[in-house]
Structure 1
Amino acid sequence: MGDHDQDDVAEPAQPPLTTTQAREVTTRLREAMDDVRRSMAVLAARVRDAHAARVWLPLGYGTWEAYCDAEFGISRAQAYRLLDVARTLAAIHRAVDAGTETSRTRDTGPASAAVLDYGLSQRALIAVSSRTDDVTELITRRLATLAHSGLQALDAATVRAVVRQAVRDVRTAPPPPTAGPTEDPALAELRRVVDELAASTYAIGELMLEVAPAYLSDGDAADVLALLCAEIGLPLEHGFAARRYAMSGDRRALHGTVL
Protein backbone atom coordinates (compact mmCIF):
# COMPACT_ATOMS: atom_id res chain seq x y z
CA MET A 1 0.00 0.00 0.00
CA GLY A 2 1.18 3.54 -0.60
CA ASP A 3 1.74 6.42 1.78
CA HIS A 4 -1.70 7.90 1.17
CA ASP A 5 -5.26 6.79 1.71
CA GLN A 6 -7.35 5.86 -1.29
CA ASP A 7 -9.21 9.17 -1.19
CA ASP A 8 -5.85 10.94 -1.72
CA VAL A 9 -5.20 9.20 -5.06
CA ALA A 10 -5.05 11.68 -7.92
CA GLU A 11 -8.22 11.85 -10.01
CA PRO A 12 -8.91 13.88 -13.15
CA ALA A 13 -9.58 17.48 -12.16
CA GLN A 14 -13.27 18.33 -11.88
CA PRO A 15 -15.01 21.53 -10.92
CA PRO A 16 -15.96 21.58 -7.23
CA LEU A 17 -19.51 20.54 -6.39
CA THR A 18 -21.95 22.66 -4.51
CA THR A 19 -23.51 21.23 -1.36
CA THR A 20 -26.72 20.56 -3.27
CA GLN A 21 -24.88 18.74 -6.06
CA ALA A 22 -22.89 16.68 -3.56
CA ARG A 23 -26.12 15.69 -1.82
CA GLU A 24 -27.64 14.65 -5.16
CA VAL A 25 -24.60 12.50 -5.98
CA THR A 26 -24.80 10.92 -2.53
CA THR A 27 -28.50 10.19 -2.99
CA ARG A 28 -27.85 8.48 -6.32
CA LEU A 29 -25.04 6.46 -4.77
CA ARG A 30 -27.30 5.37 -1.91
CA GLU A 31 -30.01 4.37 -4.38
CA ALA A 32 -27.49 2.33 -6.37
CA MET A 33 -26.33 0.55 -3.21
CA ASP A 34 -29.95 -0.19 -2.28
CA ASP A 35 -30.47 -1.62 -5.77
CA VAL A 36 -27.49 -3.93 -5.27
CA ARG A 37 -28.86 -5.18 -1.95
CA ARG A 38 -32.30 -5.78 -3.44
CA SER A 39 -30.71 -7.66 -6.33
CA MET A 40 -28.83 -9.80 -3.82
CA ALA A 41 -32.11 -10.64 -2.08
CA VAL A 42 -33.63 -11.73 -5.40
CA LEU A 43 -30.51 -13.75 -6.22
CA ALA A 44 -30.57 -15.41 -2.79
CA ALA A 45 -34.20 -16.46 -3.24
CA ARG A 46 -33.49 -17.93 -6.66
CA VAL A 47 -30.36 -19.70 -5.45
CA ARG A 48 -32.33 -21.26 -2.61
CA ASP A 49 -35.08 -22.43 -4.96
CA ALA A 50 -32.59 -23.79 -7.52
CA HIS A 51 -30.66 -25.73 -4.90
CA ALA A 52 -33.84 -27.12 -3.31
CA ALA A 53 -34.98 -28.30 -6.75
CA ARG A 54 -31.56 -29.91 -7.41
CA VAL A 55 -31.56 -28.09 -10.70
CA TRP A 56 -28.14 -29.44 -11.67
CA LEU A 57 -29.33 -33.03 -12.10
CA PRO A 58 -31.62 -32.59 -15.15
CA LEU A 59 -28.83 -30.58 -16.78
CA GLY A 60 -26.35 -33.42 -16.40
CA TYR A 61 -24.14 -32.04 -13.63
CA GLY A 62 -23.07 -34.25 -10.77
CA THR A 63 -22.95 -31.57 -8.09
CA TRP A 64 -24.13 -28.08 -7.22
CA GLU A 65 -20.59 -26.71 -7.44
CA ALA A 66 -20.05 -28.27 -10.89
CA TYR A 67 -23.28 -26.67 -12.08
CA CYS A 68 -22.29 -23.24 -10.73
CA ASP A 69 -18.83 -23.47 -12.25
CA ALA A 70 -20.06 -24.48 -15.70
CA GLU A 71 -23.12 -22.25 -15.92
CA PHE A 72 -21.95 -19.13 -14.09
CA GLY A 73 -18.17 -19.41 -13.82
CA ILE A 74 -18.05 -19.15 -10.05
CA SER A 75 -15.91 -21.17 -7.69
CA ARG A 76 -17.03 -23.86 -5.28
CA ALA A 77 -16.53 -21.45 -2.36
CA GLN A 78 -18.61 -18.76 -4.06
CA ALA A 79 -21.35 -21.27 -4.86
CA TYR A 80 -21.68 -22.24 -1.22
CA ARG A 81 -21.43 -18.64 -0.03
CA LEU A 82 -24.49 -17.91 -2.18
CA LEU A 83 -26.28 -20.74 -0.39
CA ASP A 84 -25.21 -19.35 2.99
CA VAL A 85 -26.66 -15.96 2.06
CA ALA A 86 -29.88 -17.55 0.79
CA ARG A 87 -30.37 -19.66 3.90
CA THR A 88 -29.60 -16.79 6.25
CA LEU A 89 -32.09 -14.51 4.50
CA ALA A 90 -34.72 -17.26 4.56
CA ALA A 91 -34.20 -17.73 8.31
CA ILE A 92 -34.53 -13.98 8.85
CA HIS A 93 -37.76 -13.91 6.83
CA ARG A 94 -39.18 -16.69 9.02
CA ALA A 95 -38.14 -14.86 12.18
CA VAL A 96 -39.82 -11.66 11.02
CA ASP A 97 -42.94 -13.64 10.21
CA ALA A 98 -42.96 -15.22 13.67
CA GLY A 99 -42.19 -11.96 15.44
CA THR A 100 -44.85 -9.88 13.72
CA GLU A 101 -47.48 -12.63 13.32
CA THR A 102 -48.31 -11.36 9.85
CA SER A 103 -48.26 -12.90 6.41
CA ARG A 104 -45.72 -10.33 5.31
CA THR A 105 -42.95 -12.86 4.73
CA ARG A 106 -44.86 -15.95 3.71
CA ASP A 107 -44.34 -15.26 0.02
CA THR A 108 -40.76 -16.38 -0.54
CA GLY A 109 -40.53 -15.65 -4.25
CA PRO A 110 -37.95 -13.27 -5.71
CA ALA A 111 -40.40 -10.38 -5.88
CA SER A 112 -41.16 -10.56 -2.17
CA ALA A 113 -37.47 -10.92 -1.39
CA ALA A 114 -36.85 -7.63 -3.15
CA VAL A 115 -39.57 -5.96 -1.09
CA LEU A 116 -38.13 -7.39 2.12
CA ASP A 117 -34.87 -5.52 1.81
CA TYR A 118 -33.29 -5.23 5.24
CA GLY A 119 -30.28 -3.29 3.99
CA LEU A 120 -27.90 -6.13 4.85
CA SER A 121 -24.69 -6.62 2.91
CA GLN A 122 -23.59 -10.00 1.64
CA ARG A 123 -20.63 -9.81 4.00
CA ALA A 124 -22.91 -9.29 7.01
CA LEU A 125 -25.12 -12.22 6.03
CA ILE A 126 -22.15 -14.52 5.52
CA ALA A 127 -20.66 -13.42 8.84
CA VAL A 128 -23.74 -14.60 10.77
CA SER A 129 -24.57 -17.61 8.59
CA SER A 130 -23.18 -20.01 11.20
CA ARG A 131 -25.19 -18.32 13.97
CA THR A 132 -28.60 -17.93 12.38
CA ASP A 133 -30.30 -19.40 15.46
CA ASP A 134 -28.93 -16.52 17.54
CA VAL A 135 -30.00 -13.95 14.95
CA THR A 136 -33.51 -15.31 14.53
CA GLU A 137 -34.05 -15.65 18.28
CA LEU A 138 -33.13 -11.99 18.77
CA ILE A 139 -35.35 -10.83 15.90
CA THR A 140 -38.37 -12.85 17.01
CA ARG A 141 -38.06 -11.80 20.65
CA ARG A 142 -37.53 -8.12 19.92
CA LEU A 143 -40.35 -7.89 17.38
CA ALA A 144 -42.73 -9.75 19.69
CA THR A 145 -41.84 -7.41 22.55
CA LEU A 146 -42.52 -4.36 20.39
CA ALA A 147 -45.79 -5.84 19.11
CA HIS A 148 -47.06 -6.65 22.59
CA SER A 149 -46.02 -3.31 24.06
CA GLY A 150 -48.04 -1.35 21.53
CA LEU A 151 -45.53 1.48 21.88
CA GLN A 152 -44.30 1.36 18.30
CA ALA A 153 -45.94 0.35 15.05
CA LEU A 154 -44.27 -2.58 13.33
CA ASP A 155 -43.95 -0.84 10.02
CA ALA A 156 -41.32 -1.70 7.43
CA ALA A 157 -38.80 0.78 8.82
CA THR A 158 -39.09 -0.60 12.35
CA VAL A 159 -38.77 -4.22 11.22
CA ARG A 160 -35.76 -3.29 9.10
CA ALA A 161 -34.09 -1.56 12.05
CA VAL A 162 -34.71 -4.53 14.36
CA VAL A 163 -33.28 -6.99 11.83
CA ARG A 164 -30.19 -4.89 11.14
CA GLN A 165 -29.50 -4.41 14.85
CA ALA A 166 -29.89 -8.12 15.57
CA VAL A 167 -27.44 -9.02 12.81
CA ARG A 168 -25.02 -6.37 14.06
CA ASP A 169 -25.28 -7.61 17.65
CA VAL A 170 -24.62 -11.24 16.73
CA ARG A 171 -21.89 -10.31 14.28
CA THR A 172 -19.92 -8.33 16.85
CA ALA A 173 -20.56 -10.57 19.86
CA PRO A 174 -18.16 -13.45 20.59
CA PRO A 175 -19.59 -16.96 20.25
CA PRO A 176 -21.22 -18.15 23.48
CA PRO A 177 -18.89 -20.15 25.73
CA THR A 178 -19.29 -23.89 25.53
CA ALA A 179 -17.55 -24.69 28.80
CA GLY A 180 -19.47 -25.78 31.86
CA PRO A 181 -19.11 -24.24 35.33
CA THR A 182 -16.65 -26.94 36.43
CA GLU A 183 -14.17 -26.37 33.62
CA ASP A 184 -10.53 -26.48 34.59
CA PRO A 185 -9.23 -22.90 35.15
CA ALA A 186 -6.22 -23.46 32.91
CA LEU A 187 -8.47 -24.69 30.10
CA ALA A 188 -10.81 -21.75 30.61
CA GLU A 189 -7.89 -19.34 30.33
CA LEU A 190 -6.65 -21.06 27.18
CA ARG A 191 -10.15 -20.83 25.71
CA ARG A 192 -10.23 -17.12 26.50
CA VAL A 193 -6.89 -16.58 24.75
CA VAL A 194 -8.10 -18.48 21.69
CA ASP A 195 -11.31 -16.41 21.62
CA GLU A 196 -9.30 -13.19 21.74
CA LEU A 197 -7.01 -14.42 18.98
CA ALA A 198 -10.00 -15.33 16.83
CA ALA A 199 -11.59 -11.93 17.45
CA SER A 200 -8.43 -10.05 16.48
CA THR A 201 -8.02 -12.26 13.41
CA TYR A 202 -11.60 -11.49 12.39
CA ALA A 203 -10.77 -7.78 12.57
CA ILE A 204 -7.73 -8.39 10.36
CA GLY A 205 -9.95 -10.32 7.97
CA GLU A 206 -12.29 -7.33 7.74
CA LEU A 207 -9.26 -5.23 6.77
CA MET A 208 -8.32 -7.79 4.13
CA LEU A 209 -11.83 -7.60 2.69
CA GLU A 210 -11.57 -3.83 2.44
CA VAL A 211 -8.70 -4.17 -0.03
CA ALA A 212 -9.66 -7.56 -1.54
CA PRO A 213 -13.48 -7.86 -1.52
CA ALA A 214 -15.21 -11.21 -1.18
CA TYR A 215 -16.07 -11.45 -4.87
CA LEU A 216 -12.36 -11.77 -5.75
CA SER A 217 -10.89 -15.26 -6.00
CA ASP A 218 -7.79 -16.09 -3.98
CA GLY A 219 -5.74 -15.78 -7.14
CA ASP A 220 -7.08 -12.34 -7.97
CA ALA A 221 -6.67 -11.19 -4.36
CA ALA A 222 -3.13 -12.51 -3.95
CA ASP A 223 -1.23 -9.53 -5.35
CA VAL A 224 -2.91 -6.87 -3.25
CA LEU A 225 -2.97 -9.03 -0.12
CA ALA A 226 0.72 -9.82 -0.50
CA LEU A 227 1.52 -6.10 -0.31
CA LEU A 228 -0.74 -5.54 2.68
CA CYS A 229 0.55 -8.58 4.56
CA ALA A 230 4.13 -7.52 3.91
CA GLU A 231 3.42 -4.07 5.36
CA ILE A 232 1.84 -5.39 8.56
CA GLY A 233 4.26 -8.29 8.98
CA LEU A 234 1.69 -11.05 8.49
CA PRO A 235 2.34 -14.25 6.52
CA LEU A 236 0.26 -14.26 3.35
CA GLU A 237 -1.39 -17.59 4.22
CA HIS A 238 -2.50 -16.08 7.53
CA GLY A 239 -3.94 -13.13 5.64
CA PHE A 240 -5.94 -15.45 3.41
CA ALA A 241 -7.13 -17.41 6.45
CA ALA A 242 -8.26 -14.20 8.18
CA ARG A 243 -10.08 -13.12 5.01
CA ARG A 244 -11.88 -16.46 4.77
CA TYR A 245 -12.82 -16.26 8.44
CA ALA A 246 -14.26 -12.76 8.01
CA MET A 247 -16.32 -14.02 5.06
CA SER A 248 -17.60 -17.21 6.69
CA GLY A 249 -17.53 -16.61 10.44
CA ASP A 250 -16.36 -20.23 10.73
CA ARG A 251 -13.24 -20.74 12.84
CA ARG A 252 -12.33 -23.79 10.83
CA ALA A 253 -11.03 -21.31 8.25
CA LEU A 254 -8.17 -20.61 10.69
CA HIS A 255 -7.15 -24.22 11.28
CA GLY A 256 -3.58 -24.95 10.28
CA THR A 257 -2.61 -21.28 10.10
CA VAL A 258 -3.66 -18.95 12.91
CA LEU A 259 -5.13 -21.68 15.12
Structure 2
Amino acid sequence: MQAREVTAGLRAAMDDVRRTVAVLAARVREAHAARVWLPLGYSGWASYCGAEFGISRAQAYRLLDVARVLAAIHEAVTAGPGMSRTRDTNTGPAGAALDYGLSQRALIAVSSRVDTVAELITRRLAALVHSGLQALDESTVRAVVRQAVRDVRTVPPPPPADPSADPTLAALRRVDELAAGTHAIGELMLEVAPAYLSDTAATDVLALFCEEIGEPLDHGLAARRYAMSGDRRALHGTVL
Protein backbone atom coordinates (compact mmCIF):
# COMPACT_ATOMS: atom_id res chain seq x y z
CA MET A 1 0.00 0.00 0.00
CA GLN A 2 2.79 2.42 0.89
CA ALA A 3 4.60 1.69 -2.40
CA ARG A 4 1.40 2.44 -4.32
CA GLU A 5 0.95 5.73 -2.47
CA VAL A 6 4.55 6.73 -3.16
CA THR A 7 4.07 5.88 -6.84
CA ALA A 8 0.88 7.94 -7.00
CA GLY A 9 2.69 10.87 -5.42
CA LEU A 10 5.55 10.54 -7.91
CA ARG A 11 3.11 10.47 -10.82
CA ALA A 12 1.39 13.60 -9.52
CA ALA A 13 4.75 15.35 -9.17
CA MET A 14 5.66 14.45 -12.77
CA ASP A 15 2.34 15.83 -13.97
CA ASP A 16 3.02 19.03 -12.03
CA VAL A 17 6.42 19.39 -13.72
CA ARG A 18 4.88 18.99 -17.18
CA ARG A 19 2.20 21.53 -16.40
CA THR A 20 4.90 23.90 -15.15
CA VAL A 21 6.75 23.53 -18.47
CA ALA A 22 3.62 24.58 -20.35
CA VAL A 23 2.93 27.55 -18.07
CA LEU A 24 6.58 28.64 -18.26
CA ALA A 25 6.46 28.43 -22.07
CA ALA A 26 3.36 30.63 -22.14
CA ARG A 27 5.01 33.22 -19.90
CA VAL A 28 8.17 33.15 -22.05
CA ARG A 29 6.09 33.84 -25.15
CA GLU A 30 4.36 36.76 -23.44
CA ALA A 31 7.64 38.24 -22.22
CA HIS A 32 9.42 37.85 -25.55
CA ALA A 33 6.50 39.24 -27.55
CA ALA A 34 6.37 42.26 -25.24
CA ARG A 35 10.19 42.75 -25.51
CA VAL A 36 10.31 43.22 -21.76
CA TRP A 37 14.09 43.63 -21.77
CA LEU A 38 13.91 47.06 -23.40
CA PRO A 39 12.24 49.05 -20.58
CA LEU A 40 14.52 47.26 -18.13
CA GLY A 41 17.62 48.46 -19.97
CA TYR A 42 18.93 45.15 -21.36
CA SER A 43 20.33 44.79 -24.86
CA GLY A 44 18.41 41.62 -25.73
CA TRP A 45 16.59 38.49 -24.61
CA ALA A 46 19.73 36.57 -23.63
CA SER A 47 21.21 39.34 -21.50
CA TYR A 48 17.81 39.88 -19.83
CA CYS A 49 17.50 36.17 -18.92
CA GLY A 50 21.09 36.02 -17.70
CA ALA A 51 20.75 39.02 -15.41
CA GLU A 52 17.23 38.39 -14.13
CA PHE A 53 17.17 34.59 -13.87
CA GLY A 54 20.81 33.50 -13.90
CA ILE A 55 20.52 31.24 -16.94
CA SER A 56 22.88 30.92 -19.88
CA ARG A 57 22.32 32.25 -23.37
CA ALA A 58 21.73 28.69 -24.63
CA GLN A 59 19.11 28.06 -21.93
CA ALA A 60 17.39 31.34 -22.74
CA TYR A 61 16.96 30.37 -26.38
CA ARG A 62 15.92 26.83 -25.49
CA LEU A 63 13.03 28.37 -23.56
CA LEU A 64 12.02 30.17 -26.75
CA ASP A 65 12.21 26.87 -28.65
CA VAL A 66 9.90 25.21 -26.12
CA ALA A 67 7.45 28.12 -26.33
CA ARG A 68 7.51 28.07 -30.13
CA VAL A 69 6.84 24.30 -30.33
CA LEU A 70 3.95 24.45 -27.87
CA ALA A 71 2.43 27.38 -29.74
CA ALA A 72 2.61 25.46 -33.03
CA ILE A 73 1.06 22.39 -31.42
CA HIS A 74 -1.77 24.45 -29.96
CA GLU A 75 -2.44 26.04 -33.36
CA ALA A 76 -2.49 22.60 -35.02
CA VAL A 77 -4.93 21.28 -32.42
CA THR A 78 -7.34 24.21 -32.60
CA ALA A 79 -7.22 24.87 -36.35
CA GLY A 80 -8.90 21.71 -37.62
CA PRO A 81 -12.57 20.81 -38.04
CA GLY A 82 -14.36 19.52 -34.98
CA MET A 83 -11.97 21.27 -32.60
CA SER A 84 -14.45 23.70 -31.09
CA ARG A 85 -14.71 21.72 -27.86
CA THR A 86 -10.96 21.81 -27.44
CA ARG A 87 -10.94 25.55 -28.10
CA ASP A 88 -13.71 26.12 -25.59
CA THR A 89 -11.99 24.23 -22.81
CA ASN A 90 -8.47 25.63 -23.32
CA THR A 91 -8.34 29.40 -23.25
CA GLY A 92 -5.67 31.89 -22.30
CA PRO A 93 -1.98 31.95 -23.18
CA ALA A 94 -1.15 28.59 -21.65
CA GLY A 95 -3.92 27.00 -23.68
CA ALA A 96 -4.27 23.33 -24.43
CA ALA A 97 -0.57 22.76 -23.81
CA LEU A 98 -1.35 22.23 -20.13
CA ASP A 99 -3.00 18.92 -20.97
CA TYR A 100 -0.46 17.45 -23.39
CA GLY A 101 1.94 16.08 -20.78
CA LEU A 102 5.03 16.90 -22.86
CA SER A 103 8.42 17.30 -21.21
CA GLN A 104 10.81 20.13 -22.00
CA ARG A 105 13.27 17.55 -23.32
CA ALA A 106 10.71 16.17 -25.79
CA LEU A 107 9.79 19.65 -27.01
CA ILE A 108 13.42 20.68 -27.53
CA ALA A 109 14.07 17.41 -29.40
CA VAL A 110 11.47 18.29 -32.06
CA SER A 111 12.08 22.05 -32.15
CA SER A 112 13.91 21.83 -35.49
CA ARG A 113 11.00 19.85 -37.01
CA VAL A 114 8.07 21.69 -35.53
CA ASP A 115 6.34 22.02 -38.93
CA THR A 116 6.45 18.24 -39.31
CA VAL A 117 4.95 17.76 -35.84
CA ALA A 118 2.16 20.25 -36.51
CA GLU A 119 1.36 18.73 -39.92
CA LEU A 120 1.25 15.23 -38.44
CA ILE A 121 -1.09 16.33 -35.64
CA THR A 122 -3.37 18.11 -38.13
CA ARG A 123 -3.57 15.07 -40.42
CA ARG A 124 -4.26 12.60 -37.63
CA LEU A 125 -6.90 14.72 -35.94
CA ALA A 126 -8.60 15.33 -39.29
CA ALA A 127 -8.55 11.59 -40.00
CA LEU A 128 -10.21 10.92 -36.65
CA VAL A 129 -12.88 13.54 -37.29
CA HIS A 130 -13.64 12.18 -40.75
CA SER A 131 -13.65 8.56 -39.63
CA GLY A 132 -16.21 9.23 -36.90
CA LEU A 133 -14.74 6.29 -34.96
CA GLN A 134 -13.97 8.25 -31.81
CA ALA A 135 -15.03 11.54 -30.24
CA LEU A 136 -12.26 14.12 -30.01
CA ASP A 137 -12.27 14.57 -26.28
CA GLU A 138 -9.26 15.97 -24.43
CA SER A 139 -7.72 12.57 -23.72
CA THR A 140 -7.86 11.61 -27.41
CA VAL A 141 -6.30 14.89 -28.53
CA ARG A 142 -3.59 14.54 -25.89
CA ALA A 143 -2.80 11.00 -27.09
CA VAL A 144 -2.57 12.16 -30.72
CA VAL A 145 -0.24 15.04 -29.82
CA ARG A 146 2.07 12.92 -27.68
CA GLN A 147 2.23 10.19 -30.32
CA ALA A 148 3.06 12.71 -33.05
CA VAL A 149 5.91 14.17 -30.97
CA ARG A 150 7.19 10.68 -30.23
CA ASP A 151 7.00 9.68 -33.90
CA VAL A 152 8.99 12.70 -35.04
CA ARG A 153 11.58 12.11 -32.32
CA THR A 154 12.09 8.48 -33.35
CA VAL A 155 11.92 8.68 -37.15
CA PRO A 156 15.13 7.26 -38.67
CA PRO A 157 17.69 9.90 -39.73
CA PRO A 158 18.29 10.51 -43.48
CA PRO A 159 21.17 8.60 -45.11
CA PRO A 160 24.54 10.40 -45.44
CA ALA A 161 25.13 12.47 -48.58
CA ASP A 162 28.44 10.68 -49.30
CA PRO A 163 27.97 7.05 -48.21
CA SER A 164 30.95 4.89 -47.37
CA ALA A 165 32.03 2.09 -49.74
CA ASP A 166 32.69 -0.24 -46.79
CA PRO A 167 30.48 -3.36 -47.37
CA THR A 168 29.53 -3.64 -43.71
CA LEU A 169 28.46 -0.02 -43.55
CA ALA A 170 26.68 -0.41 -46.87
CA ALA A 171 24.68 -3.35 -45.47
CA LEU A 172 23.78 -1.36 -42.37
CA ARG A 173 22.78 1.55 -44.59
CA ARG A 174 20.44 -0.72 -46.58
CA VAL A 175 18.80 -1.80 -43.32
CA ASP A 176 18.42 1.87 -42.32
CA GLU A 177 16.87 2.69 -45.70
CA LEU A 178 14.48 -0.24 -45.41
CA ALA A 179 13.54 0.86 -41.90
CA ALA A 180 12.98 4.44 -43.10
CA GLY A 181 10.75 3.24 -45.94
CA THR A 182 8.85 0.99 -43.58
CA HIS A 183 8.36 3.87 -41.14
CA ALA A 184 6.74 5.86 -43.96
CA ILE A 185 4.44 2.90 -44.71
CA GLY A 186 3.64 2.72 -41.00
CA GLU A 187 2.60 6.38 -41.04
CA LEU A 188 0.24 5.55 -43.91
CA MET A 189 -1.17 2.63 -41.91
CA LEU A 190 -1.78 4.98 -38.98
CA GLU A 191 -3.80 7.25 -41.24
CA VAL A 192 -6.15 4.33 -41.91
CA ALA A 193 -5.97 2.63 -38.50
CA PRO A 194 -5.08 5.28 -35.86
CA ALA A 195 -2.86 4.49 -32.89
CA TYR A 196 -5.72 4.12 -30.42
CA LEU A 197 -6.89 0.93 -32.20
CA SER A 198 -5.58 -2.41 -30.93
CA ASP A 199 -3.77 -4.75 -33.32
CA THR A 200 -6.91 -6.86 -33.57
CA ALA A 201 -9.11 -3.89 -34.44
CA ALA A 202 -6.47 -2.55 -36.84
CA THR A 203 -6.40 -5.91 -38.64
CA ASP A 204 -10.07 -5.57 -39.53
CA VAL A 205 -9.51 -2.04 -40.83
CA LEU A 206 -6.24 -2.69 -42.71
CA ALA A 207 -6.97 -6.05 -44.36
CA LEU A 208 -8.68 -4.61 -47.43
CA PHE A 209 -6.38 -1.58 -47.57
CA CYS A 210 -3.23 -3.75 -47.59
CA GLU A 211 -4.74 -5.93 -50.31
CA GLU A 212 -5.44 -2.86 -52.44
CA ILE A 213 -1.88 -1.51 -52.19
CA GLY A 214 -0.23 -4.92 -52.51
CA GLU A 215 1.29 -4.97 -49.03
CA PRO A 216 1.14 -8.15 -46.93
CA LEU A 217 -1.10 -7.59 -43.92
CA ASP A 218 1.55 -8.77 -41.44
CA HIS A 219 4.01 -6.28 -42.96
CA GLY A 220 1.44 -3.51 -42.71
CA LEU A 221 0.75 -4.28 -39.05
CA ALA A 222 4.48 -4.48 -38.27
CA ALA A 223 5.08 -1.15 -40.02
CA ARG A 224 2.24 0.40 -38.01
CA ARG A 225 3.75 -0.86 -34.74
CA TYR A 226 7.15 0.50 -35.79
CA ALA A 227 5.70 3.92 -36.64
CA MET A 228 4.09 4.03 -33.19
CA SER A 229 7.07 2.80 -31.17
CA GLY A 230 10.19 3.65 -33.17
CA ASP A 231 11.53 0.26 -32.05
CA ARG A 232 12.93 -1.84 -34.92
CA ARG A 233 12.20 -5.00 -33.01
CA ALA A 234 8.62 -4.50 -34.19
CA LEU A 235 9.87 -5.44 -37.69
CA HIS A 236 11.70 -8.65 -36.78
CA GLY A 237 10.30 -11.71 -38.46
CA THR A 238 8.34 -9.71 -41.04
CA VAL A 239 10.11 -6.81 -42.75
CA LEU A 240 13.56 -7.43 -41.25
TM-score, normalising length from structure 1? 0.59
Offset of residue 119 of structure 1: 1.0
CA distance in 2, matches of 1:154, 1:170: 22
Give the structure with the larger helix fraction: 2
Amino acid at match of 2:67: A
Task: Give distance in 1, aligned partners of 2:157 and 2:119.
Answer: 15
Q: Is the counterpart of residue 33 in structure 1 residue 33 in structure 2?
A: no
* Runs of at least 5 residues in structure 2 that lack an aligned partner in the other structure: 177-240
* Gapped regions of structure 1 (runs ≥ 5): 1-19, 180-186, 200-259
1:150 counterpart residue number: 132
1:109 to 72, 93, 96: 93
Of residues 23, 38, 57, the one that matches 1:76 is 57
Give the alignment of 1:120-199 within 5 angstroms: 120-175=102-157, 187-188=162-163
Shift of 1:177: 6.4
Q: Percent identity?
A: 75
Alignment coverage as a number of residue pairs: 166
Q: Deviations over 1:36-65 (max 9, x none)?
A: 110110000010111111110011000100
Aligned to 1:119: 101
**Structure with greater contact order relative to length (CA < 8 Å, sep ≥ 6):** 1
One-letter code of the match for 1:166?
A
For residue 126 of structure 1, report the CA deviation from its aligned partner: 0.1
Per-residue deviation, residues 1-58 of structure 1 (Å, max 9, x unmatched): xxxxxxxxxxxxxxxxxxx221111111101110111011000001011111111001
Residue 224 of structure 1: aligned partner:
none
Q: Give the aligned residue type for 2:79.
A: A
Deviation at 1:129, TM superposition (A): 0.2
Q: Contact conserved, 2:82 with 2:129, CA < 8 A, in 1?
A: no
Judging changes above 3 Å, is the alpha-carbon distance between structure 1 residues 113 and 146 closer, same or farther for their aligned structure 2 residues? closer
In 2, distance between residues paired with 1:177 and 1:98?
34
CA distance in 1, matches of 2:96, 2:127: 25
> In the superposition, relative to structure 1, how do residues 30 and 100 fare at CA in structure 2: closer, same or farther (>3 Å)?
farther
Q: Secondary structure at the match of 1:151?
A: coil
TM-score computed with the length of structure 2 as normaliser: 0.63
Q: 2: CA distance between counterparts of 1:145 and 1:113? A: 20
User: Distance in 2 between the 1:120 and 1:166 partners?
Assistant: 11
| Matched letter for residue 147 of structure 1 | V
Report deviation, 1:102: 2.6
